[in-house]
Structures are given as C-alpha cells and as structure tokens.
Structure 1
C-alpha cells in the first residue's frame, strides 16, 4: 500500500530544470553552462570526484546559493519566484546526515516533513499522523516509530529521512549521497527504495561517489570532471570507461554480470597497477 499523499497522482508530470546554469561563490564560477532536467519517474545520478562542484551545483538547485547566471525552474516556474515554503511543496531534500537538537522519536522526526503544509500555529493532524505511519510502513521501518532517532542505525536513519521527505508531498526529491557511510546491505536497501519511489512517479536526483549506483537504480547520469566537463544523458552514454578515466584519473573496466531478472547488470572494476 502506498501512503496517501506520498505518491504522484497518475498522469501528473513534474520537472526540475537547470538552464545554462553557472554557479559558484562570491562571483567566482565553479561550474559553467550546466543544463539538466529531472522528471517524474526518473532517477538521475550526479557523480564525479571530490572538489569538482557537485555540492555547489546541488546547493544552487536547492536555492541555497544564487546562480551566477542561468536559471533553475520547477514545473516551468523560476526558482527565484518561489518562497522557501512554496519550493518545499515541490522539491524535498534528503541530507546525507541529520543530527536533531533533541532525541526525537522516529515518528516525530517524520512528521516534521509536513511543516511546509502547515500554518504558523497549526500542528500535524490525525491525517498527517496516518500518512507518517504509512510512510514508515511502506519503507519497512514502521517498527521504529517509537525508537529514538539518534539510537537507530545509519541505514535506518536514512530511511527515516526519506520518509520525512515523502511527508512534504513533493514530487521531486534531491538526495545528497543517500548511501554514504552505510554498509553494503543498507546501501542496496536504500537504492531499492529510491528505485521504488521513481516507479511511483517521483523524480529523483542523487549524488554518489560510486558510479555503480548509477547502473543499479538510475535512468540518467551527470558526470563532472576536474577539467570542468559536464556530461549528461542516459547512464549507458555517460558512465563509460573513457569518461570515468577522465573524471577519476584511473584505469577502469565496465563489465556485465547476470542480474536477478535474467538481464545484464553493469559494474565498474578499477584495475590496479
């Protein structure tokens, strides 16, 4: 069962776009002339080595940094014309980690996701509580509802943050390294969750340090290299041996293995000298 208000209505289409975007700090460009779009049902993986501007681009898309030139649009509406609350109703953000000031129960943490729909003096309603409980159930962590958020595992915390993002009822989700610091099993669980949300109509852009994640759950990829090249397109077109060598400065091979459904699964294998 999909939580009420946590999935897209059939036929709805939503898109986050960057149009000829140049972003940076204090007037100094870090990335120039970036164009991309993330649409309903699509997962885009943003990859590249440290220091090439992934975080800068992410902050600009979120509106935390003003673009030096170009524009960010949500459903055709310029980001600059939307208030923070209006933006939060369209785009939700899942951070890499989150340390609340108090040891909230997981259910209360998830309920904070409905703030963008509440007035200044309003509290979450019974309907909000039901939606939060259903979001936890959908993600397989309903049993954690009354546990302290600070006492559960990293993978469980990440699932709770995703549930909180779903409570915003936003159609576009931006995830900053959602599998960072997670063990192998929890990484797969989070990636499976991301793939499932795309299947329910959410558009997702996620950053990752692992190019394999693009093959596992993404339809599209954006690769940024140290020399400023920004490649975007389908995963197969972007995550190539030549592009990975250019981005990371290492020799790498892309191989295939049989997948669970009988189709091939691609993986990146670095070669050591």
Structure 2
C-alpha cells in the first residue's frame, strides 16, 4: 500500500521548468526526507502535492485516487501540512488554534462539535502541551509554536503529514524534541511524514532511532537519488551537491549501529 505516489511529475513557472520527471512513493509508517541545496525545488514539489501549482505533466495520487480529482476537504482528510513559518496574529488560545485543524470536517455555517473538540484535546496531549492549552498562542515560545502547528496537523486525523523544514529557527533542545516527536508518532500512531530539511543528519537521526526512513536527494529540479540514508548520503554525493568536504562516520553504540555527517573545516581540507 502507498499513501502518496508521485509519477513523472514536471512543473514550470512560465517558460522556466522547475521540476523535471520526479517520481517517488511514501508508504504507511514511513518518514521520507527531501534534501538538496537552496533553489533545487523541494518546496515547489511540496506545493504541487498540496495542490497549489498545476502540473505540466505527470500525476500525484493519494492511495488509489489521483489528487486532482479530489475535493479540498477530501485531500485535507488524507494530508496535513505544517509550514516552515507561521505569523501569530490574533491571541487565540493554543486549543483554538489546534481546533482549527478540524475546519475541513465542519460545514460552511457549522461550528466544531464535541467529537472535534475531543480530537483537538487528544492532539494537544500527544505533543505534550496540555498545561498551556488555554494560553494565548501569541505568548508561547518558538518551540512550543511548532508543537502547536504539529498538533493542529494531528487534529486533521490525516495519515500523511507534510512538513517544510520543521526545525528551522529552533534551538538544539527544541530541534531534538521535534525529531523525537516525529519518530514517536511514526511508531506509535503509524503516521507517515514527508519533510524537507537542510540538515543532512536529520534522516540519519531517524535511521539511528530505528524508524523506517528514506531520503530523496534533489538537484536542479530533479530527484537524483533515493534510498536508505546511510547508503545514499555518501561523501561523494554530498560534496557534489554542496561543494564542501565532509566526513561520514559510522559506529556502534549500545549494540546498535549509528551514522552521522560532519563538515570539514576549511583550514583542514588541504591536509585531507
């Protein structure tokens, strides 16, 4: 079974072709990480999946259904989105923001019912924000805000959550908290995630945690490699993409294998 299937997708901004012949699949209970330098097309690909851009060619399917044939509320029932940035405007409570994740399931002139409120509460519990559920979300930290956005996505009850650089602008503690939460939700809730990231160690972090994860590497609008992070993220591939020398390290900790990537400082490259 496949949750998301992209087949030979191409997209152009006017005469400029941005995405070329992209094909990938996201399975249930899997994390799919999109990597690549700025401007390679990662966010544009996500926007295509979310229906914000008409395709030049190819198709996108959710399960067995082509996404272009689905109504917006049908797409929202299967795919949720967590943006990279969110501008806090009115002082809604954390609970009210999360409850907005149920908007797609209510009628135009209806309000959320008891079941919707219970779903929102459960989503808040899952991300560990019960103690601040009634706090204005304009008064919370950046790390807490990202958890609120994830809870809002969870409230949609979608099986696939798409995230655009979910840990950007977060400190080390909150970054690890988000990565741990994604890993936990994949295992405990059977959810799937598709996310973009600039941190090459993120997919390795998931792999080190024993979570099913694949990585797709993009370059100039093409998907040039897909597979298990520790196999795909070789020194040669990384140096080709980013024009910088790196060291890839593998080892064993507590009886389990692990991997990570480290950039080589400029003053040491001559000696390598």
TM-score by length of 2: 0.91
What 5-or-longer segments of structure 2 have no aligned partner? 208-212, 267-272
Identify which of 246, 265, 271 aligns with 1:272.
265
CA distance in 1 between partners of 2:137 and 2:34 (Å): 28
CA contact (8 A) 1:21 1:35 kept: yes
2:58 aligned with 1:70: yes
CA distance in 1 between partners of 2:73 and 2:223 (Å): 34
Identify which of 196, 200, 208 aligns with 1:211.
200
The match for 2:217 is 223
What 5-or-longer segments of structure 1 have no aligned partner? 1-12
The match for 2:132 is 144
Query: Which consecutive segments of 4 or more residues in structure 1 shift more than 3 A?
Result: 226-229
CA contact (8 A) 2:22 2:222 kept: no
The match for 1:176 is 164
CA distance in 2 between partners of 1:217 and 1:156 (Å): 21
2:224 aligned with 1:236: no
Number of residues of Structure 1 aligned to a counterpart in Structure 2: 260
2:262 aligned with 1:262: no
The CA deviation string for residues 195-244 of structure 1, in whole angstroms up to 9 with x for no partner, is 11111211110111101001112510011124845211222232221111
The match for 1:56 is 44
CA contact (8 A) 1:225 1:246 kept: no
CA contact (8 A) 1:49 1:247 kept: yes
- Cα drift, residue 24 of structure 1: 2.7
CA contact (8 A) 1:99 1:150 kept: no
Determine helix, strand or coil for the equivalent of 2:37. Answer: coil
Identify which of 91, 105, 113 aligns with 1:125.
113
CA contact (8 A) 1:14 1:203 kept: no
25 and 244 in structure 1: CA distance in 2 versus 1, 3 angstrom threshold: same
TM-score by length of 1: 0.91
CA contact (8 A) 1:226 1:247 kept: no
Identify the range of structure 1 (191-200 vs 95-104) with the bigger mean alpha-carbon deviation. 95-104
The match for 2:70 is 82
Identify the range of structure 1 (106-115 vs 221-230) with the bigger mean alpha-carbon deviation. 221-230
CA contact (8 A) 2:246 2:264 kept: yes
227 and 125 in structure 1: CA distance in 2 versus 1, 3 angstrom threshold: closer
- Cα drift, residue 100 of structure 1: 4.1
CA contact (8 A) 2:18 2:41 kept: yes
